[in-house]
Structure 1
Amino acid sequence: MKVIERFWQLDEPEKANKNLSPSEELCESHFATYMKRNQDGRFSVRLPFKQDPSLLGESKHIAINRFLALERRLDKDVILKTQYVQFMNEYADLGHMERVDINQVNPHYVIPHHGVLRPDSSTTKLRVVFDASCKTSSGLSLNDTMFTGPTIQEELFAILLRFRCPRFDFCSDIQKMYRQIIIQPEDQRYQLIVWRSNNNEPLQFYRLKTVTYETRSAPYLATTCL
């Protein structure tokens, strides 16, 4: 009988409100306060900081050192370098990042990045990892200063049970899901990266203008917008 009652409860359109922790409530309130929709319907959000981001220390030098190490690796792997340059060029061409003068952007946080090559993948051969957990000189990282956010989606059991009910089901993937959502300009300063496609060029700094994977709040922001 309890199993049947459970089935009825899952089938009800009205869902019971989840019990949120105080930090999760603050995160939800922050999202509701600052979320905007552009004229084309695109979402723009702010990073849900739980600590003042000005507490972040110096991050530029470690990001540069890690990029130079990445560059040496790319020079030894032609396939990886080709894929990496293509990825970054697309990032810029789509308007998801743009060059900045780091001396004019303070405070800021520079995110180190590296690549993971997956030759067997049928979709994404290269996965670029943005390390927002990298500590600054103050001992804090960008991820340390942000809320994780509550889990928005239903429990997997409920999703799978509902999936069995219709006669036909459709599955799809949202292309570049995180990068469909814009980070509002005042918070883009905390998503800087260092990059150049050629060793003969000077090092350049770019700001990532969209929700960035590997940042702590990215899954929450993307799922909530969805």
Structure 2
Amino acid sequence: MVIKTQFEQGIVELVEDLANRPDVHYLPHHPVIRKDKTTTKVRVVYDASAKTSGPSLNDCLDQGPKFDQKILDILCRFRTHRVAVTADIEKAFLMISVAAKDRDFLRFLWVDDAVKDEPRIVVYRFARVVFGVNASPFLLNATI
């Protein structure tokens, strides 16, 4: 259900060209199930730090500079103006597009319908920034 919704929203896309190429990467993932939640009971977590042989995806990416802000600096800036604005962007990482040429590094395997007698494995890839990749916080901060 989660992936179907993300597909409909353009967050992930189906990979049609499954040619064996060296410039692709598959993200491992697992579900996190929260029975105590009423809205999001199942969340998919992607692990860009996982490795089998050779480096992980996170090992190959530049993390970018940190945008660490000191709390004292934030509070001082907050108090220097008459009006302060704050925001909480829902699913912020998923609002930022990934360049088409880089999307094949964000592939993952999924089952089309787990309740079918013979479910089929399909390949998706992210069209948006993925939470769990070490460069994602930089990309979000730079975009904001």
Cα offset for 1:191? Answer: 0.3
Choose the corresponding residue for 1:201, options 95, 119, 130: 119
CA distance, structure 1, for counterparts of residue 127 and residue 42 of structure 2: 21
Corresponding position of 2:14: 99
Corresponding position of 2:28: 112
CA distance, structure 2, for counterparts of residue 142 and residue 90 of structure 1: 25
CA distance, structure 2, for counterparts of residue 172 and residue 164 of structure 1: 17
Cα offset for 1:153? Answer: 4.9
CA offset digits 1:71-117 (Å, max 9, x no partner): xxxxxxxxxxxxxx2x2111100111111146326221000111223
Corresponding position of 2:95: 180
Amino acid at match of 1:211: V
What pairs with 1:72-151 in structure 2 (closer than 5 Å)?
Answer: 85=1, 87-101=2-16, 103-104=18-19, 106=21, 107-120=23-36, 124-137=40-53, 139-151=54-66
Question: Which structure: larger Rg?
Answer: 1
Cα offset for 1:127? Answer: 3.0
Contact kept in structure 1, 2:112 and 2:120, CA below 8 Å: no
CA distance, structure 2, for counterparts of residue 221 and residue 115 of structure 1: 25
Corresponding position of 1:81: none
Contact kept in structure 1, 2:93 and 2:128, CA below 8 Å: yes
Distance 1:161 1:123, change over 3 A: farther
Contact kept in structure 1, 2:96 and 2:129, CA below 8 Å: yes
TM-score under structure 1 length normalisation? 0.55
Cα offset for 1:136? Answer: 3.8
TM-score under structure 2 length normalisation? 0.83
CA distance, structure 2, for counterparts of residue 90 and residue 212 of structure 1: 15
CA distance, structure 1, for counterparts of residue 72 and residue 37 of structure 2: 28
CA distance, structure 2, for counterparts of residue 168 and residue 117 of structure 1: 40
CA distance, structure 1, for counterparts of residue 50 and residue 112 of structure 2: 23
Amino acid at match of 2:47: D
| Count of matched residue pairs | 140
Gaps of 5+ in 2: none
Q: State, as a whole percentage, how many aligned pairs show the same letter.
A: 32
Gaps of 5+ in 1: 1-84
Cα offset for 1:178? Answer: 1.0
